[in-house]
A = this chain, B = another copy of it.
């Protein structure tokens, strides 16, 4: 089973999903499954920017002894973004419409992350 089928099942299971991607902390997407036309949203630029912030967060968490950063969510007026660390080098990111099912999204990413990790 490839990454893509995992990403596709995340997008299918979570209502309001726009796209789901496996990315490196270097900001480069390994694989992406896109559900809907994101319109004017420049998701790939946003995600590369988030990867940069996540790297800073990982470093901050080390210093602050708050434990490993497992999940980050950045919600704007137009898109909710849920990010879960998969390995020290990779994370999975899901973009949802603001009316999407956020609770389901958290659950689905939590159970999908180990499946993706197993394929790395």
Q: Which residues of A contact B (CB under 8 A)?
A: 40-42, 45-46, 49-50, 53, 56-57, 60-61, 63-79, 102-103, 106
List of B residues within 8 angstroms of A45 by Cβ: 63-64
Copies of the protein in its oligomer = 2
List of B residues within 8 angstroms of A42 by Cβ: 64-66
List of B residues within 8 angstroms of A50 by Cβ: 60
Which of B46, B70, B75 sits near A76, CB closer than 8 Å?
B70
In the complex, the chain B residue whose C-beta lies closest to that of A72 is: B74
Q: How far is the CA of A103 from the CA of B79 in the complex (A)?
A: 18
Query: Is there an interface contact between B60 and A46, defined as CB atoms closer than 8 Å?
Result: yes
List of B residues within 8 angstroms of A76 by Cβ: 61, 66-70
List of B residues within 8 angstroms of A75 by Cβ: 69-73
